[in-house]
A and B are shown apart, each in its own frame.
Chain A
C-alpha cells in the first residue's frame, strides 16, 4: 500500500532537509551564488563557516574561500571583492565582530551590498560564549541593515532575501541577518531548501558595483579624503551621509517587497518589518525580537485560553527601524511589556524598549510600557518566563508602574 506523502512540498522547493540554523544559512549562501567568502571562525558561528567551507570544497558553491588571519581582514577582503564586482558573504559575532569594527562601520558609507550573518552572542565581559544580542545591538548605529530571524527556515529564506535587499539600487547597503546563538545556530528542525532556478529568478542579475568599481579602464580613487573642517567645506560629506540615511529609509519598502515576492514564489509569508500576533482585540501586548518569539507566542496562546486579552508584536527589521509599522501596532493596545535579549547601558533597560518608547511618543495616545531583560548568556526564555512577563504587563495595564527593568533569568 502506498504511503501518503507526509507533507506537500512548497512550490519552488527542491528538497526538505533536517538541519540547524547555521547549516540553513550555509544552504542560503550556496543558493545565492557568492563569488567570495572570507571567514574566521568564532563561537557560535564556527559551524556555519565550516558548512560553507565544505560546500565550497564539494563544488556546491563556486566561490573563492579566503581563510584570513582575523575578522578585520575578512571584511577588508570583502570590500575589495565587492568593489571588483563580486557577490560576497561572511559571518561573525561577539568578539569577532568587535575586531571587525574598523572596516565594518566603513562598509555602509562605501555603499557595498555585503551580506553578513551575525550569529548573535552576548557581550563579554563576564566571559561568555553563549547567545544574546548584545553584539548586534552594539552595532545598531553603524548604518548596516539589521534583520532578526525567528526560525531556522526564516534564517535560510531571509539570508537569500538579504542579497535582493542589499543590492537594490535604491538601497546599496550591507545587511546583517541576525540569528540567535545557541537557539537558532544549533536548533535543529525540518527546512525546505528552495530550487536553484527559482532563487536565480528571484535574485536577478548580479550587479553590485555599478556605482563604484576597481576597474583599470575606469580609474577612480575610492573613499578619498572629503572636505569638512579643512578642504572645500563639508557639503560633500553631508551629501554622502544624507544619502546613506536615505538609502536606509528606502530599505523599508524594499524589504517589504522582497518578502512579498518571496511569498509569491516560495509560499512562505513572513512579516517583513513588524509582526502582529493576536493583536487586533488585545488590551495589552508583549514586544519581542528573534527566536524568543516562539515561546512567547505559546505563552500568549495559554493566556488567551485563560481569557486574557493579550497579543504580541515581533520586530523583524530593527535597522532601519520600522517606525510607522511599530507605531501602528502599538496604537492597538493600552500597555506593552518589551522583552530584550540585551541591555541598553545608558537607559537601564533594553535597546528595543528604548526604541519602542520613541514610537510611543508618536502614537498620539498614552500607552504604558515596561522593560524586561532576559535570555542573557544564552539562558533559555521559556513559556514560564513569558507567562510572568504577561502577568506583570497586565499589572502595568491596571496601573502598577515598573520600578526599573525586570530581569527574567535573575534567579534561574
Chain B
C-alpha cells in the first residue's frame, strides 16, 4: 500500500500563472501598500514627563508597535492601529488618545 518504498510524490514545476484561468480560487497577488496607520481613528500620544518606562504599554500592545526610546516608550505610527489598549493600561496615565484629524 502507501508504505511502498518505490512510491514518491512527484515534484511539480512551478505553474505558469499566466496559463491558470483567473476564474478559479479568488487570489490577490499585488501587495497593497496600506498600513494600519492609514485608517487609524485615534492616535496614542505619550507624555514623556509622566512616562516611567515601566513597559506595560510595550507588553500589552497587540501589534508590537511600541518602540523603546532612551527615557520613555513611544509609538510607531505606521503600524499602530489606534486600539487604545496602551492608554487604558498605562498605570501613570502617560498616554492619551487623540482623534486623527486631517
Contacts and interface: CB of A to CB of B under 8 A. Distances in A.
Interface of A: 30-31, 33, 59-63, 85, 109-112, 172, 196, 200, 205-207, 210-212, 217-224, 226, 236, 239-240, 242-243, 246
A218 B14 contact: yes
Contacts of B28: 220-221, 224
Interface of B: 1-4, 7, 9-10, 12, 14-15, 17, 20-29, 31
Contact of A240 (B4, B20, B26): B26
Nearest to A85: B12
B25 to A, nearest CB: 4
Top 3 nearest A-B pairs (CB, nearest first) are A243-B23, A212-B25, A221-B28
Contacts of A59: 3
Nearest to A170: B21
Given A60-B2, A60-B3, A210 B15 contact: yes
18 contacts: A30-B2, A62-B2, A62-B3, A63-B2, A109-B25, A205-B12, A210-B15, A210-B20, A211-B15, A212-B24, A212-B25, A212-B27, A222-B25, A222-B26, A222-B27, A224-B27, A239-B23, A240-B23
B22 to A, nearest CB: 7
A59 B7 CA distance: 14
Given A60-B1, A226-B26, A211 B7 contact: no
A206 B2 CA distance: 14
Nearest to B15: A210
Could you tell me the dominant secondary structure of chain A's interface residues?
A: loop
A140 B89 CA distance: 51
A30 B9 contact: no
Nearest to B6: A197
A243 B24 CA distance: 6
B25 A110 contact: yes
Contacts of B27: 212, 220-224
A380 to B, nearest CB: 36
A211 B18 CA distance: 10
A242 B23 CA distance: 8
A236 B20 CA distance: 16
A260 to B, nearest CB: 25
Contacts of A196: 1-2, 4
B2 A61 contact: yes
Given A196-B2, A212-B27, 14 more contacts: A30-B1, A60-B2, A62-B2, A110-B25, A172-B24, A196-B4, A211-B21, A211-B24, A217-B14, A220-B27, A221-B28, A223-B25, A242-B23, A246-B23
Contacts of B2: 30, 33, 60-63, 196
Contacts of A219: 29, 31
A33 B7 contact: yes
Contacts of A217: 14
Contacts of B9: 206
Contacts of A61: 1-2
Contacts of B21: 211, 243
A33 B10 CA distance: 13
A352 to B, nearest CB: 30
A299 B25 CA distance: 46
Nearest to A32: B2
Which among B1, B3, B25 has the greatest number of chain A C-beta atoms within 10 A? B25
A33 B2 CA distance: 6
Contacts of A243: 21, 23-24
A224 B24 CA distance: 13
Most buried by A among B23, B28, B31: B23
Nearest to B19: A210
B45 to A, nearest CB: 32
A112 B25 contact: yes
Contact of A200 (B7, B12, B23): B7
B7 to A, nearest CB: 7
Contacts of A33: 2, 7
B26 A224 contact: yes
Contacts of A200: 7
B25 A211 contact: yes
Contacts of B23: 239-240, 242-243, 246
A4 B20 CA distance: 55
Contacts of A109: 25-26
A205 B12 CA distance: 9
B21 to A, nearest CB: 7
Contacts of A220: 27-29
Given A205-B10, A210-B20, A111 B3 contact: no
